[in-house]
C-alpha cells in the first residue's frame, strides 16, 4: 500500500519525469497575454543581467514544494501537500471521524485522485470524494460581494480552465473513477449552498481568491466534523485567500492552531 501511494504521488506531480530529465514546466501556451509579453521581454533583460520575472528552475525541490506549475502533471501542489492529504485521511480513518472528503478547486484533479487512492488503499468504502470546481477556471472578481478581490487576475489564466471531461479522464487513467467520486460543477457561490453533502471529515480549499475561499468556508465548514481537517493551499501565497481565512476564523471564533505544511500551505484540526 505504501509503495502504491508513494508511486502515485511521484506520477501525479511529475516527479518521476524530473528524475528522468523529461519534466516540462508550463509553456507559453498556458500563460496569460501579459505573461506572454513579459517572458520574451525578460529574456532580453536577462542578457544584461536584469530581470522582472521570478525564475523557478525545475527541480525535485521545487516540484516537491509545489512552487511551479507543471505542463502535464495532474496536480500542481507538490509532494509535501500530497503527504499532508495522506496524513489527514489516515488520521480521520484511524480516529473514526465521520464524513466525506472534498477539494474546492481541483484543476486537473490530481489532489482528488490522490484522495480516492488513499481511501482505496485503506479499503474505505463508506466515504465519498467530492470534487468541486467551475471546470472553466476562476471567476472574474466581483467587488460588489468581496472588495478584497479587486484587481484579481486569476480568471485570465487559460491554463486554469480544465473541463469536467478532462478531470474524469484523469481519474480513469488511474482506474479510480467510480461511485465514491462525485463532482460539483459551478461557481462555488451557486453550487456549494445546495450541495448534497451530509458531513465532511476533510475540507481542502484551493480556489485562490477571497470569494472562492470564503464561499467554501461559509457553506462547508459547518458540515465539517470535530476532529476533521481544513487545508488551505494558498494561505501564504495569495493575500486575499489568507484574509478570507482570517476573517472567517475571527467571525466564528476559531482558535484551533494553524500548522504549516510547506511554505505556501497550512492546515488545522477542528476541535
| Cα–Cα nearest to 246, from 226, 220, 217, 271 | 217
257: phi > 0 → left, psi -120 to 50 → alpha, else beta; which? beta
211 binds ligand SAM (CB under 6 A): yes
CA angle 70–78–185, rounded 5-degree value: 75
118 binds ligand SAM (CB under 6 A): no
**Of residues 15, 77, 97, 214, which one binds ligand SAM by CB under 6 A?**
77
Q: Of the two residues 97 and 111, which places its CB atom closer to ligand SAM in the complex?
A: 111
Compose the 166-205 pattern: x for residues touching ligand SAM by CB under 6 A, - for all others: ---------------------xx-----------------
Grid look-up 462555488 returns: 188
Pairwise CA distance, residues 169 & 108, whole Å: 10
Spatial contact of 211 and 139, defined as CB atoms under 8 Å apart: yes
Q: Of the two residues 97 and 132, which places its CB atom closer to ligand SAM in the complex?
A: 132
Compose the 121-140 pattern: x for residues touching ligand SAM by CB under 6 A, - for all others: ------------xx--xxx-
| Cα–Cα nearest to 73, from 110, 103, 106 | 110
119 binds ligand SAM (CB under 6 A): no
**Of residues 79, 101, 111, 203, which one binds ligand SAM by CB under 6 A?**
111
Residue 225: Cβ within 10 Å count = 17
**Of residues 206, 229, 245, 261, which one binds ligand SAM by CB under 6 A?**
206
CA angle 11–17–18, rounded 5-degree value: 120
Which positions touch ligand SAM (CB under 6 A)? Answer: 75-77, 103, 105-107, 110-111, 133-134, 137-139, 160, 162, 187-188, 206-209, 211-212
Amino acid at each position: 500500500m505504501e509503495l502504491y501511494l508513494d508511486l502515485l504521488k511521484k506520477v501525479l506531480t511529475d516527479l518521476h519525469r524530473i528524475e528522468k530529465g523529461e519534466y516540462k514546466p508550463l509553456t507559453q501556451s498556458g500563460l496569460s497575454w501579459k505573461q506572454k509579453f513579459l517572458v520574451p521581454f525578460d529574456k532580453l533583460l536577462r542578457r544584461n543581467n536584469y530581470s522582472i520575472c521570478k525564475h523557478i528552475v525545475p527541480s525535485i525541490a521545487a516540484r516537491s514544494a509545489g512552487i511551479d506549475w507543471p505542463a502535464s502533471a495532474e496536480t500542481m501542489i507538490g509532494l509535501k501537500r500530497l503527504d499532508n492529504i495522506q496524513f489527514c485521511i489516515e488520521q480521520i480513518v484511524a480516529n473514526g471521524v465521520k464524513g466525506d472528503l472534498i477539494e474546492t478547486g481541483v484543476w486537473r484533479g490530481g489532489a482528488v485522485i490522490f484522495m480516492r487512492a488513499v481511501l482505496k488503499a485503506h479499503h474505505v468504502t463508506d466515504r465519498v470524494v467530492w470534487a468541486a470546481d467551475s471546470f472553466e477556471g476562476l471567476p472574474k472578481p466581483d467587488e460588489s460581494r468581496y472588495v478584497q478581490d479587486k484587481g484579481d487576475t486569476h480568471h485570465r489564466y487559460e491554463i486554469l480552465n480544465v473541463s469536467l471531461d478532462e478531470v474524469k479522464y484523469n481519474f480513469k487513467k488511474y482506474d479510480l473513477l467510480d461511485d465514491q467520486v462525485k463532482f460539483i460543477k459551478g461557481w462555488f457561490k451557486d453550487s456549494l449552498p445546495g450541495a448534497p453533502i451530509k458531513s465532511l471529515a476533510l475540507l481542502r480549499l484551493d480556489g485562490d481568491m477571497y470569494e472562492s475561499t470564503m464561499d467554501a468556508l461559509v457553506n462547508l465548514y459547518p458540515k465539517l466534523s470535530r476532529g476533521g481537517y481544513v487545508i488551505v493551499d494558498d494561505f501564504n501565497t495569495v493575500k486575499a485567500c489568507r484574509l478570507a481565512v482570517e476573517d472567517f476564523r475571527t467571525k466564528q471564533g476559531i482558535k484551533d492552531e494553524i500548522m504549516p505544511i510547506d511554505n505556501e500551505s497550512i492546515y488545522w484540526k477542528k476541535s
